[in-house]
Amino acid sequence: MRWQGREESDQIEDRRMSGGGKAATGGIGLIVVALIVMALGGNPMRVLQAGAGAPGGGGESKPLTQEDKAWKEYVGVTLKDTENVWDKIFSGSGESYRKPKLVMFRDATQSGCGYASSQVGPFYCGEDETVYIDTSFFQLMKDRFGAKGDFAPAYVIAHEVGHHVQKLLGTMGKVNERRSQVSERDANALSVRLELQADFYAGVWAKHAAQAAGIDQQDVEEALECANAIGDDTLQREAQGHVVPDSFTHGTSKQRMEWFMRGWKSGDVNQGNTFGASSL
């Protein structure tokens, strides 16, 4: 993937200099659950509300390192690429694409969906149409999940932007309303379809951005490695030694890889109706 020296988005707010403090947590149990939720998407506030408290005391302001500054450029370029792609796709349907904001933070921050710690991983908040990312998660992806290469973080960002696309199209609102009316098992199944569609949208983005961003087959393989590492079945097996399919909220490793590839191969947003698919 080619990102150095390219145009960056103007929709980024960098809060990393302001510290932010650390959220009070419910101990190792919350961390284990957070590993499962850390499958990039959905609403991690459920974990925070269950085990995280208010800000824990301010935190120190730390200067940005050269690596921090490089991440700012990387995230800015990637977000700009998503803006270009989705603006073109929406325009082709006679619609207008409203850009999401992206907040980079350190340790913890306040979002439109509540107080968020870095433990929950990157997430999209529909309340303020903002993607929140603690870039230390990208290092965790390498160290904890083995997601190496420079494209895996772009896949993460594109997935979260995929949730913003769902918000604009009305899909997210309909799913959230439906989830409140059904059993927990059925609500989880709806969440899986929502997450897999976001993976599909990430693949669509990669297809359309390939020429401008220099995305090649090696980059796609890196995205697949990441998707494989963060499937519900893989995370649950690693965290608790067994899987509970009815509790899945993001999809299996196989499903996440397959839906990303569907988007990558077709580039057609109309082929990503996970809710109409008889099987995933």
64-78, 121-135, 138-152: range with lowest mean pLDDT: 138-152
User: Mean pLDDT score of the chain, rounded to an integer?
Assistant: 86
Residue 25 lies in a domain: yes
133 forms beta bridges with 104
CA–CA dist 234, 228 (Å, integer): 8
Residue 16 lies in a domain: yes
Residue 276 lies in a domain: no
3-state helix, strand, coil in the chain (%, to 5): 55, 10, 35
How many domains in the chain? Answer: 1
Residue 34 lies in a domain: yes
Burial class (CB in 10 A: 0-12, 13-18, 19+), 267: middle
Residue 93 lies in a domain: yes
With a cut of 90, say whether residue 211 has pLDDT above it.
yes
Burial class (CB in 10 A: 0-12, 13-18, 19+), 174: middle
pLDDT of 94 reads 95
Q: Under 8 Å CB-to-CB from 122, ≥6 apart: which residues?
A: 40, 131, 132, 133, 134, 137, 156, 157, 160
Residue 59 lies in a domain: yes
Pairing of β 123-125 and β 130-133: antiparallel
With a cut of 90, say whether residue 57 has pLDDT above it.
no
Taking the model in full, what pTM does it have?
Answer: 0.86
The parent domain of residue 245 ranges over: 12-271
Residue 185 lies in a domain: yes
Residue 124 lies in a domain: yes
